[in-house]
Amino acid sequence: MEIDDPKIVALRAQVTAAQQEFDMAVAFHEVWKPTAYDKSLHCRMGRSYATQAFLVVRTALRREMILALMRLWDSNKQAKGIRMQSVAATLRDKDVIDALATDRVNRIGLPEAIDQMRADLGNRSNEVIQLVNKYMEGGVRDVVLKKLLRLRHERLAHHQLVPATATGANASDKEIEEFYQDNLTLIHILLSVVNAMAYDPEDTAKVYRHYASYFWAGARGEQTEGHPNYRSRSTG
């Protein structure tokens, strides 16, 4: 198999698209995280009518992050989108690994390192396969993917009419966080193995984490001094 084989061309296109989609998930996730884990932010919001909008924004960010992640795991075989299941299946093909290894050593001018390169790419491809299998039928986290697939088709609504209280992450958030981290690892490995690209999604995460810290620093409820509609707890 040559490096320009349609199978490898399609694989590289999928990995590139996966990176672009995951970068969006990173942006949504990092801006969302303070709304779930920043206790001082929850205290600033308190029981406030502003919390209603806060929860709408929090829900929207979470929804968009989940949608971005799920586009990496499209289960429709007829779709032309990204399918991690398909990516893993392609990496099981030893001819694909051989072609990628041969291309890599030729480009760096070390053809004598072909065996070492083939073993390295093979080992990292196995990491991808194991992570994907984790969420497939019979995998240790298959229930998480099933939940998220169902959630993707649900309509999220916000019907509360009284002031709400901002709270932290819940059990489902912990499952989603694990899924997010596993996808981060997948993208990191795939870009290296398939596209010969040294890319760490955590670098993107740090940028949006910085932006988020500035954005949420200004969020205040009416019970916070300095808010234009400030009212102390004693006055109700």
Residue 228 counted as domain residue: no
Residue 225 counted as domain residue: no
The SS3 assignment for 107 reads helix
| Of 113, 79, 90, residue with least CA distance to 5 | 90
Domain count, the chain: 1
The pLDDT assigned to 209 comes to: 95
| Of 85, 94, 93, residue with least CA distance to 128 | 85
Residue 226 counted as domain residue: no
Residue 199 counted as domain residue: yes
Q: What is the CA radius of gyration of the chain?
A: 22
Cβ proximity of 3 and 181 under 8 Å = no
What is the C-alpha to C-alpha distance for residues 20 and 18, in angstroms, rounded to an integer? 5
Residue 121 counted as domain residue: yes
Residue 77 counted as domain residue: yes
What is the C-alpha to C-alpha distance for residues 193 and 60, in angstroms, rounded to an integer? 34
The pLDDT assigned to 26 comes to: 96
The CA dihedral of 3, 7, 13, 15, to the nearest 10 degrees, is -90
What is the C-alpha to C-alpha distance for residues 49 and 57, in angstroms, rounded to an integer? 14
Measure CA 47 to chain center.
31
What is the C-alpha to C-alpha distance for residues 131 and 139, in angstroms, rounded to an integer? 9
What is the C-alpha to C-alpha distance for residues 34 and 168, in angstroms, rounded to an integer? 9
Residue 116 counted as domain residue: yes
The pLDDT assigned to 43 comes to: 83
What is the C-alpha to C-alpha distance for residues 129 and 121, in angstroms, rounded to an integer? 12
Question: Phi-psi region for residue 47, left (φ > 0), alpha (ψ -120 to 50) or beta?
Answer: beta
The pLDDT assigned to 183 comes to: 96
| Of 19, 6, 2, residue with least CA distance to 190 | 19
Mean pLDDT by 10 residues, the chain (236 residues): 95 95 96 90 79 88 91 72 88 97 95 96 97 95 87 51 50 84 96 93 93 87 73 60
What is the C-alpha to C-alpha distance for residues 152 and 70, in angstroms, rounded to an integer? 8
E strands in the chain: 47-48, 164-165
Given the structure tokens 């995460």, which residue do they identify?
A: 205
List the domain range (segments joined by +) for residue 165.
6-217
